[in-house]
Each structure stands twice: as structure tokens, then as C-alpha cells.
Chain A
Amino acid sequence: MALNPGESARIELTVNGIAHQIDVEARWLLSDVLRHTIGLTGTHVGCEHGVCGCCTVLIDGEPARSCLTFAVQTDGAAITTVEGLAASDDGLHPLQESFRMHHGLQCGYCTPGFLMTALPIYERAPEMSDEELRKAISGQLCRCTGYAGILSAIRGAAEIERSRKGAES
């Protein structure tokens, strides 16, 4: 396969469980394709050089920078964005609920990136030392909160999940 400047190729992306067949140009960043082609604007763009982490999504289950990935590279991949977290419109994922409870967000711009970074680790977070948890989310910049609420939120999410499961059973 070769794709010349200005040409588009059809790729298949599964985003939040929904298969999309979309035409992309080679240089289009995954962040732009998610936001402007597919219309999932929950993924934010803060620096486009990989330092701020606002654009972090899961690519095949692992957090990655969507601004440092060309969409065409992810042909066939499964992407999870912040829109894929909550089970329904009114229910929040335990991690989201915990962010709300612990004031883990202010302007909300960096929040989706933090949520996607925390998603694979929040269940282990209560056992992590303060230093370990801080290290696990370094690479994500927040200019509003000073991180205190974010750290508490990630640490508290598993508890919310447990109490929900308790309530169900």
C-alpha cells in the first residue's frame, strides 16, 4: 500500500465498540480524525507534541497519544475514547464518578486524557504508594487542579466500583 499526498485511503477503526469505515489522508493525526471526522470531541488536543497528554486514548487497550499517531497507522485497531467510558448517558463510570467526588477536574480539558491514562491502573491504585501513583500519571499535564484531586480520584475509584457491585449483589 502506498498513499500519496492529497489521496485518501479507507481504513477501519473500531471506536468504543463501533466499527467505522472512514477515508483518511496519510498525514491526518488520529486526534484530528477522532474529533473532526468521527465527531468524538471528548478527546482534546493540548500540544501536538506528546507532552501534555490531553489527547490520550486507548489503542488496543493501552493508553497512547492520539496526536503522535497517524490514523492510517491504526487501521484495524480498537480505540477507546472518553465517550466509551460511561455505561449510559446518566450513569458515570466509577472513575468518572470519583473524579466528580474528589474535585479531580476544573476546566475539564485535560480530564479525558487523565481518565484514559488512569483506566488501566485505577483498580491497583489503592495499593500504590503516593510516589508510584504520581509517576503513573506523570506525562499528563493539568494546569487547574495541582493534581491533588486527580490523585484522590484515581485512588478512590476502585472503592466506588466495589460499593456499586456490593449494591447490585
Chain B
Amino acid sequence: MKPAPFTYHRPETRGEVDALLAELGSEAKILAGGQSLIPILNMRLSSPAHLIDLNHLHDETAGPALDDGHVTVGPLVRQSSVERSELVTERVPLLAETMDFVAHPAIRNRGTVVGSIAHADPAAELPAVLAVLRGEVVARSATGRRTIPAGECFRGPLENSLEDTEWLEEVRWPVAAADQGFAFEEFARRSGDYALCGVAARAERAGDTTTVALGYLGMGDVPVCTELPPLGASAFETDEVEDAVARVVEGQLDPVDDIHATVAFRTHLARRLGATAVRRAAAKADTAGQDS
């Protein structure tokens, strides 16, 4: 299993990346951590003519940064650096909780957060988390840059909404508000595997009412984000949570069969994991509210 030949480019500035993409367009793939791309190349499931290696860009940040209500990560921020970041733990607790589920330590040491978002794998954790947090990405090209909300970022399996000449220079994770609570749940056969189903929950407390948004992975062509109807305090004493999740699961998710799980099993998982995530996130939102 060796990759097919390609032309390798090593730009040193973001501008050089822009210029290369302007010239090469769809012929080129961006190579950052390579932890999703290189297996595909080794298996010759894909053989792009050009690879643009970001690893030698000058003056790139190595870790997350705080910027205008967001924790931002640049193109060379490794997943392990986010995992170890106190800033992320404090400001984007859902991302911190989720990192533990993303592949394995050695993969996270090379893999980048931006790369995982750009890869747009509907079974991956980070796109679903970005979507449920209503984060955004910054795309750039030789003609300028634009900010894309997470909800518009993913177009299909392994397909993002960037133009051929664009690439991602930043992913922006909204800082958690005091009244918010979060939870992440997934079921994978082995630790670190792609999950059969996973879900991220964001809960917000306003008085006695809790609003919860869910972001599912592995349940459609793209991460599926949805909001439950507002839940009163009594909902958590009854099966109302389960019922609300069930309605969302039945109505909005579109899983497929594969060798590990059927549609029915995935739907079951989506209901159970979703309900657990809702309850956990809501409980944390409660606590968060009391703290403030």
C-alpha cells in the first residue's frame, strides 16, 4: 500500500498557499496532519496530482487562541494541543470533552483540528461539535477571505463547501456562556474508532425552561444539528426528554446501513445517546446557572 505519485509543494506563507490553489484548483489537496488523507492515499483510493504541505508555513501558532468571543485554531494546531489546552477546557468545555473520543493519542499528535473540519467526515466528532456550538470557519483564497457558519460548512460525505481555490485558515469555537451546559456521547466498537453514532448536546437555561440543541455524527451525509422544543423542569422527571429526542431522531436523521450497524440500530443508538446527552447537558446548564 504505497501512494501513487504526486507533485509536492511546500509553501512558506499563507499567500503562497493561495497562489498555488489559484493555479492548481481541484488538482491539489491540502496536506496538514495527513492522518485522514494519507491512509486514503496509501490505499490509492485517491490520487491527487498535487499536494500542498502546510507544515512548513512560517509563523503559525501552535495552540488555540482567544479572539472576540471565540477560541480560534489555526491551520497547524494539532488536536493534541487542543486536548491539552487549558483555554479550551475553560472556554469551550464541549470541545475539551470530545477530544478524548477523537482517534488515538499518536494520531492526535499529528492530526489538526482545521484538517478534521475541512475533511468533512460525517462520522467524525469535530464537525458535529462545531455545528452544535454554532462555530464558524474562515476560508481564504487569492481573492480574499470569508467566514462561513458551521451550518453551511458541510455539503456531503467528505465534501466541504469551499471553492477549489479556497482553503481553511481558521476554525472559530464560540466561548461557552455561563448558562450553558454541554455533553458528548458516542458509541464506538473500539476506543478511538469512528462511532456507530455520536451526539453532542448544548443546553441553555432560561428560568425554568431548558433549550437543547443536538449535533449528531454518523447519522447522515453531514453532521445533523437540531434543536429540541423547550423543555420545562418536569420534562426531566418524565420520559418527555426521551420522547422529544425520539421525534427528532425519527424526523431529521438519515442514517445508513453498513457492516457495523443497521439503520434501526443506529436509530436506537441516536435515541438513547441523545437522551443521555440531553440530560447530562441540561444538568450542567442547571449547575452553570446556579454558579452565576
Which residues of A are interface residues toward B (Cβ below 8 A)?
1-6, 26-27, 29, 32, 48-50, 53, 56, 59, 62-65, 67-70, 72-73, 75, 117, 134-136, 138-140
A68→B110 contact, CB < 8 A: yes
B 1-18 binary contact with A (CB < 8 Å = 1; else 0): 111111111100000000
Give per-residue flags for B22-44: 1 if the beta carbon is below 8 A from chain A beta carbons, else 0: 00000000010011001101110
Q: B112 contacts which chain A residues (CB < 8 A)?
A: none
Is B192 at the interface (CB under 8 A from chain A)?
A: yes
Known: A27-B3, A117-B106, A139-B192. 11 other contacts (CB 8 A): A4-B7, A27-B8, A29-B2, A48-B1, A48-B39, A49-B42, A50-B39, A53-B104, A64-B110, A138-B190, A139-B103
Residue in contact with A139 in the complex, picked from B38, B51, B104, CB distance below 8 Å: B104
Q: What is the minimal beta-carbon distance from A24 to any residue of chain B, in angstroms? A: 10
A to B CB contacts below 8 Å, 15 in the list:
A2-B7, A5-B5, A26-B6, A26-B7, A50-B107, A53-B106, A56-B106, A59-B109, A65-B107, A70-B8, A117-B106, A134-B191, A136-B105, A138-B104, A139-B192
Q: Tell me, yes or no, whether B55 is within 8 Å of chain A by CB.
A: yes
B24 CB to nearest A CB, Å = 10
CB atoms of A1 and B110 under 8 A apart:
no
Q: Could you tell me if A73 and B31 are in contact, using CB atoms closer than 8 angstroms?
A: yes
B43 touches A6 (CB 8 A): no
Cβ-neighbour of B38 out of A59, A68, A135, A138 (below 8 A): A68
Chain A residues contacting B1 (CB-CB under 8 Å) are 48-49
CA distance A4 to B34 in the complex (A): 19
When C-beta atoms are compared, the residue in chain A nearest to B106 turns out to be A63
- In the complex, A20 Cα to B39 Cα: how many Å? 27
Residue ID in chain A nearest B40 by CB atoms: A49
A140 and B38 alpha carbons, distance in the complex (Å)? 18
Are B7 and A139 in contact (CB-based, < 8 A)? no
The interface residues of chain A lying within 8 Å CB-to-CB of B4 are 27
B interface residues (Cβ-Cβ under 8 A, vs A): 1-10, 31, 34-35, 38-39, 41-43, 51, 53, 55-56, 80, 100, 103-107, 109-110, 190-192
Chain A's nearest CB lies how many Å from the CB of B51?
7
The complex places the Cα of A10 from the Cα of B103 at a distance, in Å, of 33
In the assembled complex, the Cα of A48 lies from the Cα of B10 at a distance in Å of 24
Contacts of B80 in A (CB 8 A): 62
Residues of B within 8 A of A6 (CB): 5
Q: How far is the CB of A117 from chain B (nearest CB, A)?
A: 6
Known: A49-B42, A50-B39, A135-B191. A64 touches B106 (CB 8 A): yes
Kindly list chain A residues whose C-beta atoms are within 8 Å of the C-beta of B35: 50, 65, 68
Verify B105–A69 contact, CB threshold 8 A: no
A140 vs B192: C-alpha distance in the bound complex, in angstroms? 11
Which B residues are CB-close (under 8 A) to A59? 109-110
Residues of chain B within 8 A of A70, CB atoms compared: 8, 31, 34, 38, 53
**In the docked arrangement, what's the CA distance between A6 and B103, Å?**
33
* A26 adjacent to B106 (CB under 8 Å): no
Query: A134–B192 Cα gap in the complex (Å)?
Result: 12
Query: How long is the Cα–Cα vector from A1 to B8 in the complex, in angstroms?
Result: 8
For the complex formed, measure the closest distance between the CB of B33 and the CB atoms of chain A, giving whole angstroms: 8
In the complex, which residues of chain A have a beta carbon less than 8 angstroms from the beta carbon of B110? 59, 62, 64-65, 68-69
B7: chain A residues at CB < 8 Å are 2-5, 26
The complex places the Cα of A73 from the Cα of B205 at a distance, in Å, of 47
Residues of B contacting A69 in the complex (Cβ-Cβ under 8 angstroms): 34, 38, 110
Pairwise interchain contact B192-A138, C-beta atoms closer than 8 A? yes
